[in-house]
Amino acid sequence: MTDLLQAVLAACERTPDAPAMTFRRKTLRYGELRDRVLGVSSSLRTLGLEPGDRVLFSIRPGVEAVTLALAIIHAGGTVVFADPGAGEAMFRARSALAAPRWVAAESLLYAASSGPLRRIARRRGIELPDYAAVVPDARHVYSGRWLPGVPRSSVSLRSLVDRRPGRASALASRQRPEMASAASSSALIIFTSGTTDAPKAVVHSRESLGTGLDDFATAVGFVPGERVLTDQLMVGIPALIAGAHWELPPPGLDPGATPEKYLDLLPRADVLFAVPAALDALLRMLDSHPDRTPELRALVLGGAPVLRPLLERVRERFPRTAVRAVYGMTEILPVAVADGDEKLAFAGEGDFVGRVVPSVAARIADGELVVSGAGLAQYLGRPPHGELRTGDLASLDGDRLVLAGRAKDMFIRGTTNVYPGLYEPVIAGLPGVRAAALAGIPDAIGDDELVLALVLDGTTVESVRDALPGLIDAAVLPDRIVEVDELPTQGRSAKLDRAELARRLS
- Predicted pLDDT at 182: 76
Q: Which residues pair with 352 in a beta bridge?
A: 402
Contact status, residue 100 vs residue 94, Cβ threshold 8 Å: no
- Predicted pLDDT at 208: 96
The answer to whether residue 169 scores a pLDDT higher than 60 is no
Please give the share of the chain, as a percent, with pLDDT higher than 90: 67
Confidence of residue 45 (pLDDT cuts 50, 70, 90): very high
Q: If we measure between CA atoms, which residue out of 397, 410, 340, 332 comes closest to residue 371?
A: 332
- Predicted pLDDT at 237: 96
Give the whole-angstrom CA distance, residue 69 versus residue 157. Answer: 11
The answer to whether residue 177 scores a pLDDT higher than 60 is no
The answer to whether residue 76 scores a pLDDT higher than 90 is yes
The answer to whether residue 163 scores a pLDDT higher than 70 is no
- Predicted pLDDT at 371: 98
Range scoring the smallest mean pLDDT among 34-43, 62-71, 115-124, 429-438: 115-124
The whole-number average pLDDT for the span 283-307 is: 92
More confident residue, 326 or 86: 326
The amino acid sitting at 380 is L
Average pLDDT, the chain: 89
Dihedral angle of Cα 98, 59, 264, 214, to the nearest 10 degrees:
-50
The whole-number average pLDDT for the span 273-284 is: 91
Task: Give the full edge-to-edge strand order of the sheet including 448-456.
Answer: 433-442, 448-456, 480-483
Compute and round to an integer the Cα radius of gyration of the chain. 23
Confidence of residue 126 (pLDDT cuts 50, 70, 90): low
- Predicted pLDDT at 125: 63
Confidence of residue 127 (pLDDT cuts 50, 70, 90): confident
Q: If we measure between CA atoms, which residue out of 378, 423, 429, 431 comes closest to residue 405?
A: 423
Range scoring the smallest mean pLDDT among 445-449, 451-455, 466-470: 445-449
The answer to whether residue 379 scores a pLDDT higher than 70 is yes
- Predicted pLDDT at 256: 77
The answer to whether residue 396 scores a pLDDT higher than 80 is yes
Q: If we measure between CA atoms, which residue out of 69, 86, 76 comes closest to residue 53?
A: 76
The answer to whether residue 408 scores a pLDDT higher than 80 is no
Range scoring the smallest mean pLDDT among 158-167, 169-178, 197-206: 169-178
Q: If we measure between CA atoms, which residue out of 101, 104, 53, 67 comes closest to residue 82?
A: 104
- Report pLDDT digits (tens) over 383-395: 999 999 998 999 9
- Predicted pLDDT at 445: 54
- Predicted pLDDT at 447: 63
Give the whole-angstrom CA distance, residue 425 versus residue 26. Answer: 35
Give the whole-angstrom CA distance, residue 418 versus residue 423. Answer: 9
Q: If we measure between CA atoms, which residue out of 443, 353, 459 comes closest to residue 400?
A: 353
Which H or E run contains 448?
strand 448-456
The answer to whether residue 405 scores a pLDDT higher than 70 is yes
- Predicted pLDDT at 161: 82
Contact status, residue 370 vs residue 363, Cβ threshold 8 Å: yes
Give the whole-angstrom CA distance, residue 266 versus residue 260. Answer: 11
The answer to whether residue 124 scores a pLDDT higher than 90 is no
Give the whole-angstrom CA distance, residue 96 versus residue 436. Answer: 30
Quote the pTM value: 0.84
Residue ranges of domains in the chain, CATH in brackets: 4-181 (3.40.50.980), 209-406 (3.40.50.12780), 411-505 (3.30.300.30)
Beta-strand pair 416-418/433-442: unpaired
